[in-house]
């Protein structure tokens, strides 16, 4: 019987040995330069971001502090493509030195050279690659970049080859280190089974619905319908979002971790609007994590959404901060 594959460092993987109160240190790096231009039509990060950068000498102690609190994963979601940040490789090295999993979200377009892929392989990273479509026209309409489809396919092929020796078995599961994340909308909902076939046994296909924030907020073409939700449930019932716990109730990136954007605390790695309203890293990770969770508990009062960013009360939640 073929084992179900799960991604190293995902919530479902960490659950196998018991999910700890602190598992994830999520770092939202904001690299300087022109590499990523927030050009994707549904980019959830196309919002105001800080101009100041947290120096490496202050990031390294954060990793140690998170490790001491029990964290096993350092997440690089990035406000832009994280591999473009000049601090990125040094932070990956620090996470690896602390025996934590570097867990990298990438568009596989910018920065993911063969040299970078080899570096990430050698530092035991898990990779989550944004894969909008297997149809070139749909893909490039989304990315707004000509020739991006062929480049991403090339980088995915290089990832598969370089990471081909990373498979291992743990209990009832096979552990992989590459996943694809497809945000499903009207343009690609017919591709779910095709994407699953493309991923085969070495990539883990994950499907999610849109977040109506950033560039997607005012784009009427970006929407989530019951038809889309049902298409995901029918075609990929086991492909739950990577941060979601097995019971479907929590996003562990938020509930079992803390997100930091250049020293400022966030409610979750994509909740950029919460920056500056929950404190900063100078207060210590333990108290700011407790404060973030208390804010969440006080607002929702036991009626929790799986994802605050997809919840209709998200704007109200942000407005409630600091009151």
What pLDDT is recorded for position 3?
Answer: 85
Contact between 244 and 11 under an 8 Å Cβ cutoff? The reply is yes
Contact between 194 and 170 under an 8 Å Cβ cutoff? The reply is no
Q: How many helices (H) and strands (E) does the chain have?
A: 11, 11
| Spatial distance between the Cα atoms of 148 and 162, rounded to a whole number of angstroms | 21
Residue 42: pLDDT above 80? no
User: Which residue has tokens 């490790």?
Assistant: 67
Contact between 210 and 222 under an 8 Å Cβ cutoff? The reply is yes
Could you list the residue range(s) of the whole structural domain that residue 309 is in?
A: 4-320
* Cα 77–Cα 216–Cα 220 angle in degrees, nearest 5: 160
What pLDDT is recorded for position 167?
Answer: 95
What pLDDT is recorded for position 122?
Answer: 98
| Spatial distance between the Cα atoms of 201 and 208, rounded to a whole number of angstroms | 20
| Spatial distance between the Cα atoms of 22 and 226, rounded to a whole number of angstroms | 34
Give the start-end residues of each E strand in the chain: 4-7, 24-28, 73-76, 101-106, 126-130, 168-170, 173-176, 178-184, 204-209, 257-261, 264-266
Q: In this predicted model, what pLDDT tens digit does every residue of 133-160 receive, in sequence order?
A: 999 999 998 888 889 999 999 999 999 9
Q: What is the CA radius of gyration of the chain?
A: 18
Residues 221-238 have a mean pLDDT of 76
- Three-state DSSP class for 176? strand
The CA dihedral of 72, 168, 83, 21, to the nearest 10 degrees, is: -20
* Mean pLDDT rounded to a whole number for the chain: 88
What pLDDT is recorded for position 35?
Answer: 60
Q: Give the number of domains in the chain.
A: 1
Q: In this predicted model, what pLDDT tens digit does every residue of 179-207 receive, in sequence order?
A: 999 989 888 999 999 999 999 999 999 99
What pLDDT is recorded for position 228?
Answer: 82
DSSP string, 202-265: TSEEEEEE---SGGGTT-TT----HHHHHHHHHH-TT---TTB-TTS--BHHHHTEEEEETTEE
Q: Which residues contact 300 (CB under 8 A, 6 or more apart)?
A: 313
Q: Which residues contact 165 (CB under 8 A, 6 or more apart)?
A: none
What pLDDT is recorded for position 302?
Answer: 73
Of 10-14, 23-27, 42-46, 199-203, the poorest mean pLDDT is in 42-46
The first and second tokens of residue 20, run together, are 């700890």
What pLDDT is recorded for position 61?
Answer: 95
Of 229-233, 271-275, 310-314, the poorest mean pLDDT is in 229-233
Q: Which residues contact 156 (CB under 8 A, 6 or more apart)?
A: 108, 129, 131, 180, 203
The first and second tokens of residue 12, run together, are 């479902």
| Spatial distance between the Cα atoms of 159 and 157, rounded to a whole number of angstroms | 5
What pLDDT is recorded for position 193?
Answer: 93
Q: In this predicted model, what pLDDT tens digit does every residue of 49-88 receive, in sequence order?
A: 666 789 999 999 999 999 999 999 999 986 778 998 899 9
Distance of CA 19 to the CA centre of its chain: 18
Q: Which residues contact 172 (CB under 8 A, 6 or more apart)?
A: 3, 4
User: Which residue has tokens 């000509």?
Assistant: 146
CATH of the domain at 164: 3.20.20.70
C-alpha torsion sign, points 238, 8, 134, 185: positive
What pLDDT is recorded for position 225?
Answer: 74
Residue 34: pLDDT above 60? no
Distance of CA 252 to the CA centre of its chain: 11
Percent of the chain residues past pLDDT 90, beyond the cut: 56
Which pLDDT band, with edges at 50, 70 and 90, does 33 fall under? low
What pLDDT is recorded for position 51?
Answer: 63
DSSP type of residue 280: B
Which pLDDT band, with edges at 50, 70 and 90, does 118 fall under? very high
What pLDDT is recorded for position 36?
Answer: 67
């Amino acid at each position: 019987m073929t084992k179900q594959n799960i991604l190293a460092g995902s919530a479902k993987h960490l659950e196998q040995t018991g999910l700890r109160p602190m598992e994830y240190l999520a770092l939202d790096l904001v690299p300087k330069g022109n590499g990523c231009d927030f050009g994707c039509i549904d980019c959830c990060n196309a919002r105001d971001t800080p101009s100041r950068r947290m120096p490496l000498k202050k990031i390294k102690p954060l990793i140690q502090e998170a490790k001491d609190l029990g964290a096993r994963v350092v997440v690089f979601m990035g406000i832009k493509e994280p591999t473009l940040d000049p601090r990125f490789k040094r932070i990956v090295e620090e996470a690896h030195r602390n025996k934590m999993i570097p867990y990298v979200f990438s568009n596989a377009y910018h920065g993911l050279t063969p040299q970078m892929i080899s570096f990430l392989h050698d530092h035991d990273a898990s990779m989550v690659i944004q894969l909008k479509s297997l149809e070139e026209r749909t893909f490039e309409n989304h990315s707004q970049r000509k020739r991006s489809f062929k480049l991403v396919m090339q980088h995915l092929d290089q990832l598969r080859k370089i990471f081909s020796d990373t498979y291992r078995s743990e209990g009832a599961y096979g552990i992989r280190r590459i996943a694809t994340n497809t945000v499903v909308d009207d343009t690609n909902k017919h591709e779910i089974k095709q994407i699953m076939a493309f991923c085969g046994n070495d990539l883990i296909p994950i499907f999610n619905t849109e977040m109506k924030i950033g560039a997607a907020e005012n784009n009427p073409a970006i929407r989530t319908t019951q038809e889309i939700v049902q298409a995901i449930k029918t075609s990929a019932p086991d492909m739950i979002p990577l941060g979601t716990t097995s019971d479907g109730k929590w996003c562990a990136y938020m509930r079992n971790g803390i997100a930091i954007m250049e020293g400022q605390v966030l409610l979750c790695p994509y909740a950029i609007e919460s920056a500056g309203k929950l404190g900063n890293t100078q207060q210590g990770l333990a108290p700011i994590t407790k404060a973030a969770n208390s804010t969440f508990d006080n607002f929702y009062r036991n009626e929790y959404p799986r994802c605050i960013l997809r919840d209709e009360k998200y704007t109200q939640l942000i407005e409630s901060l600091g009151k």
